[in-house]
Structure 1
Amino acid sequence: MVAVHHRTADVGGLTVFYREAGPADAPVLLLLHGYPTSSHMFRHLIPALAGPYRVIAPDHIGFGRSSAPGTAEFAYTFDALADVTRGLLDRLGVHRYAMYVQDYGAPIGWRLALASPGAVLGVVSQNGNAYEEGFVPEFWEAVWAYGADRSPANEARMRPALGREAVEWQYTHGVPDPSLIDPDAWEHDLALLARPGVDRAQLALFADYSGNRALYPAVQEWLRSSRVPVLAVWGRNDEIFAAAGAEAFRRDAPGAEVILLDGGHFLLESHGDEVAAAVLGFRDRLPGARDGG
């Protein structure tokens, strides 16, 4: 069995929980999770990748087992989450890395790349958006409305996203055989979402999400200028981030590899072996990979 370490680090007075596995001198792969989950979503992927990679998977603040301060103590924005992630990498002495981004992990990863363009050796995007084409309009209309106006009426439209039906749907939609999906995945998320004050933190992030779109031109320019290798491995039936968002990487990332699998938003739950194989193959495309992190 692969040894997976479950650790915490103090970053600016906040406790960041993270999972880590693999040799210290292997290329670092930073795994950045989405909503409403945590590094728990990578529980099967980490052992499959450890060895060729040193894998580091943190829980964002307000998620999983990391600190979840109230909104009066912490500004829940994607800028702030990226700052904490950068602080964790500094604490761990990680200066170069590839990143695997999914959902919320994408705008966090894009901020890391724009702040330190040369630090990122490669990008694996698994249903992690960087293009307007990726948005499914019917899903996002309420999010854009709440970002523009945090009225009680718009908040009421967003609150169901915190509930059981919506969380379970994110795991099962677009999956041809939902019996493959372990229900413990969404039960784990729901238990941690139920912590006091987490609802307000998540609502703040819903409202802030609109601002991520303004980063896309800079991210696309970074992809063109850096020529960083890109693998987009996507659940093609995702009704949150459409497969067109995966195909769009071809415009700006020379040689981008796009793999569309018959799954949904949380592709690792149904197609973990296929994703792991693709990410293992991606290692050889990383510049200077043998020099470690």
Structure 2
Amino acid sequence: MVSAVHHRTATVDGHDVFYREAGDPKAPAVVLLHGFPTSSHMFRHLIPALADRYHVIAPDHIGFGLSAMPAPRDFPYTFDALADVTSGLLKQLGIDRFAMYVQDYGAPIGWRLALQAPDHITAIITQNGNAYEEGFVKPFWDGVFAYAKAPGPDTEAAMRGALTPESVRWQYTHGVADPTLVSPDNWVLDQALLDRPGNDEIQLRLFRDYSTNVDLYPRVHQYFRDSQVPLLAVWGANDEIFGPDGATAFSQDLPDAEIHLLEAGHFALESHLQTVTEHIRGFLARVLA
């Protein structure tokens, strides 16, 4: 039996936050945190695959998906602010203990949640969700860090290039042995949302803030060492944004981390849904038992 997925909206600090929800609210909670340039849409197949056993919540970050997109003058587009909204949503839903799945931007948001309340995190699944400098693949990140350090016309051009249809599609198809497994709905939807008037400035603000995530890494590593939180890294090894060294690096601070490298790209759920799901279900059954 396939679990029903509900599509809901809550108001957090005056902003509408769209989220997908499935499963028994009394079951252990699993929070799914998406990355750039997508939304909770990336979890559309994973949610029902987990909801028979878990209470699954997948929000759209502010400025993404179907959540509110306030102008930058009305919302500080930083990773701190995105994490605060996520924390506010979970409090409103009464979720104070949860496992989290983090991917891309979802990782620095998730790390902030863990640092705010370490005891709230029961387990971590990271799918190309970085926490170590070893994970950054060049030349992709050279442009991001140059722009964060010195925003201006010269450095901004490369960042605007990341918002184009070619770049968005590349994130989905690069490193995938059989690109026909990846639905074009992904990049068509993402591009339509990126092309909304004003969304480019939102994304540029977050690019400029990205270096704050790296500054946070020493605290994140200390959290790992102190908590020894159960962690599963199930990682697209062909990703040229966050490479496989980012997955194996978790074992530096979490010796018992479970690490699986897949012949997949940045969005491994699109080509390896069944494999990722099996790893997650096995992992959670062991660590949340």
Which TM-score band applies after superposition, normalised by the shorter structure? over 0.9
Matches within 5 A, 1:79-118: 79-118=80-119
- Which residue is equivalent to 2:236? 235
- Secondary structure of residue in 2 paired with 1:71: coil
- Which residue is equivalent to 1:33? 34
Residue pair 1:30, 1:98 contacting (<8 A) in 2 also: yes
Deviations 1:29-54 (CA, angstroms, capped at 9, x unpaired): 00000000000000010010102111
Q: CA deviation at 1:175?
A: 0.3
- Which residue is equivalent to 2:268? 267
Partners of 1:5 and 1:278 in 2: CA distance: 25
Could you list the structure 1 runs, at least 4 aligned residues long, displaced by more than 6 angstroms after superposition: none
- Which residue is equivalent to 1:13? 14
Partners of 2:63 and 2:115 in 1: CA distance: 23
Count of aligned pairs between the two proteins: 288
Residue pair 1:133, 1:244 contacting (<8 A) in 2 also: yes
- Which residue is equivalent to 2:284? 283
Partners of 2:59 and 2:140 in 1: CA distance: 27
Gaps of 5+ in 2: none
Query: What amino acid is the match of 1:28?
Result: A
Partners of 1:283 and 1:124 in 2: CA distance: 9
Provide TM-score, normalisation by structure 2: 0.98
Q: CA deviation at 1:285?
A: 3.4
- Which residue is equivalent to 2:189? 188
Is 217-226 or 121-130 further displaced after alignment? Answer: 217-226
Provide TM-score, normalisation by structure 1: 0.97
Residue pair 1:124, 1:231 contacting (<8 A) in 2 also: yes
Q: CA deviation at 1:232?
A: 0.1
Partners of 1:50 and 1:38 in 2: CA distance: 19
For CA contacts below 8 A with separation 6 or more, give which structure has more relative contact order.
1
Deviations 1:178-210 (CA, angstroms, capped at 9, x unpaired): 111100111011111111111100000011001
- Secondary structure of residue in 2 paired with 1:60: coil
Partners of 1:254 and 1:141 in 2: CA distance: 30
* RMSD (Å), alpha carbons: 0.8
- Which residue is equivalent to 2:179? 178
Partners of 2:189 and 2:182 in 1: CA distance: 13
Partners of 2:158 and 2:55 in 1: CA distance: 41
Deviations 1:98-144 (CA, angstroms, capped at 9, x unpaired): 00000000000000000101100010000000001000021000000
Q: CA deviation at 1:24?
A: 1.0
Partners of 1:97 and 1:258 in 2: CA distance: 20
Is residue 160 from structure 1 mapped to residue 187 from structure 2 by the alignment? no
Partners of 1:2 and 1:90 in 2: CA distance: 24
Is residue 44 from structure 1 mapped to residue 45 from structure 2 by the alignment? yes
Deviations 1:200-252 (CA, angstroms, capped at 9, x unpaired): 00000011001100111111111111011000000000000010000011111
- Which residue is equivalent to 2:199? 198
Partners of 1:268 and 1:157 in 2: CA distance: 27
Matches within 5 A, 1:49-60: 49-60=50-61
Query: What amino acid is the match of 1:284?
Result: A
Residue pair 1:124, 1:230 contacting (<8 A) in 2 also: yes
Query: What amino acid is the match of 1:225?
Result: D
Is 105-114 or 187-196 further displaced after alignment? Answer: 187-196
- Secondary structure of residue in 1 paired with 2:211: helix
- Which residue is equivalent to 1:209? 210
Q: CA deviation at 1:254?
A: 3.1
Partners of 1:266 and 1:100 in 2: CA distance: 13
- Which residue is equivalent to 2:227? 226
Partners of 1:233 and 1:180 in 2: CA distance: 19
Percent of aligned pairs with the same amino acid: 62
Residue pair 1:229, 1:254 contacting (<8 A) in 2 also: no
Residue pair 1:249, 1:256 contacting (<8 A) in 2 also: yes
- Which residue is equivalent to 1:146? 147
Is 231-240 or 187-196 further displaced after alignment? Answer: 187-196
Partners of 1:142 and 1:285 in 2: CA distance: 41
Is residue 134 from structure 1 mapped to residue 99 from structure 2 by the alignment? no
Is residue 63 from structure 1 mapped to residue 32 from structure 2 by the alignment? no
Residue pair 1:52, 1:283 contacting (<8 A) in 2 also: no
Residue pair 1:224, 1:254 contacting (<8 A) in 2 also: no
